Amino acid sequence: MKLRRVCTVYFSPTGGTERLARALSGELAALFGLEEAFFPLTLPSGRGEPLSFGPQDLVVAASPVYAGRLPNKLAPVFAGLLHGEGAPSVALCAFGNRSPGDALREWLLLLEAGGFVPVAAASLACRHAFCDAIGAGRPDAEDFAALRDFARSAAPSLAGPAPRPLAFDRETPIAPYYTPLRTDGAPAKFLKAKPVRLAGCTRCGLCAGLCPMGSIDGATLEVTGVCIKCQACVRGCPAHALRFEDADFLSHVAMLRERFTGRAENAFLL
């Protein structure tokens, strides 16, 4: 069946995943002469209604990697929202220069269970949301060139009368979430950590609108719900008046800086 459009579905609190997803969808759209449509899942307002796609929709589905997996609070939401009805899909995961873990395979299984036909998949390194020094400058020109090559390589799987399903490991159980470590090698326990508001806060309220969990009260600007440590509020604050001060969180960031500032490798499945 002839493809009609490229549909880009993405969750991207700090923007890196969105950049990669739009680059990939733009390349695929140009290759096949298709129109583009975008479906951001970053904010609660974008996750209110199920999204259904058909065989004429090529779906690029993109998510960041959290602790080697899909974000644990969002994966069940994605599963409930996304319905493929035979739509070919390309799975994309963006990881913060440490490791993609098992997130890409988890994404493929989730999409396939939702009725999509995965035809290709990629894990690409990004700057870590916790610290600019970890994966500094990623994705860069080399990453985007690799993404263009990946799109061209995936094209033959989409060019026939029916998409050619990707061969990948469907049997091995998904690995558990990575346990964050402190600089001394002990587990870093910061599950309940929340951003601290500093004296420079102008009470503009932008942080409340940026929180992907809707966990910042618009009136008080206090974190009243689940914090997934995505850093959307920290990075989006124009006054730089939010930060994490939890000792274990800071020790984990220091450990990442010590061990994962080299150039991480991307991975592609075709």
Per residue in 183-198, pLDDT tens?
A: 999 999 999 999 999 9
20 exposure class (CB count in 10 Å sphere: 0-12, 13-18, 19+): buried
Q: Considering the domain boundaries, does residue 188 fall inside one?
A: no
User: Based on the domain organization, do 207 and 101 belong to the same domain?
Assistant: no
218 and 170 belong to one structural domain: no
List the structure tokens of 267.
Answer: 């991975």
Residue 118 placed within a domain: yes
Per residue of the chain (270 residues), what is the pLDDT tens digit? 689 999 999 999 999 999 999 999 999 999 999 999 999 999 999 999 999 999 999 999 999 999 999 999 999 999 999 999 999 999 999 999 999 999 999 999 999 999 999 999 999 999 999 999 999 999 999 999 999 999 999 999 988 888 999 999 999 999 999 999 999 999 999 999 999 999 999 999 999 999 999 999 999 999 999 999 999 999 999 999 999 999 999 999 999 999 999 999 999 999
- Any domain includes 259: no
One domain, residues 124 and 232: no
Q: Are residues 50 and 100 in the same domain?
A: yes
Rounded CA-CA distance 211/232 in Å is 6
Query: In terms of domains, do 127 and 209 share one?
Result: no
**Cα–Cα dist 170/163, whole Å:** 18
Residue type, 121: A
Domain count, the chain: 2
77 and 169 share one domain: yes
Establish if 250 belongs to a structural domain. Answer: no
Residues 87 and 204 in one domain: no
Instruction: Convert 149-202 into a string of H (helix), E (strand) and C (coil).
Output: HHHHHHCHHHHCCCCCCCCCCCCCCCCCCCCCECCCCCECCCCCCCCEECCCCC
Q: Can you give the CATH number for the domain in which 231 is found?
A: 3.30.70
Token representation of residue 40: 């951001």
- Based on the fold, state whether residues 41 and 159 are members of the same structural domain: yes
Q: Domain for residue 184, yes or no?
A: no
Domain that holds residue 205: 196-245
Q: Please give the Cα distance from 100 to 174 (Å, whole number).
A: 13
Query: What's the confidence (pLDDT) of residue 1?
Result: 64
Residue 164 and residue 213 in one domain: no
pLDDT at 236: 97
Co-location of 207 and 164 in the same domain:
no
Measured CA to CA, the distance from residue 180 to residue 186 in angstroms comes to 9
Same domain, residue pair 17 and 144: yes
Residues 132 and 225 reside in one and the same domain: no
- Separation between Cα atoms, residue 239 and residue 197, nearest integer Å: 11
* Crossing angle (nearest 10°) for helices 16-32 and 141-154: 40
Report the SS3 class of residue 106. helix
Task: Specify the CATH number for the domain of residue 46.
Answer: 3.40.50.360
Residue 181 lies in a domain: no
> What is the torsional sign of CA 98, 102, 105, 111?
negative
* Inside any domain, residue 256: no
In a domain? residue 166: yes
Burial class (CB in 10 A: 0-12, 13-18, 19+), 17: buried
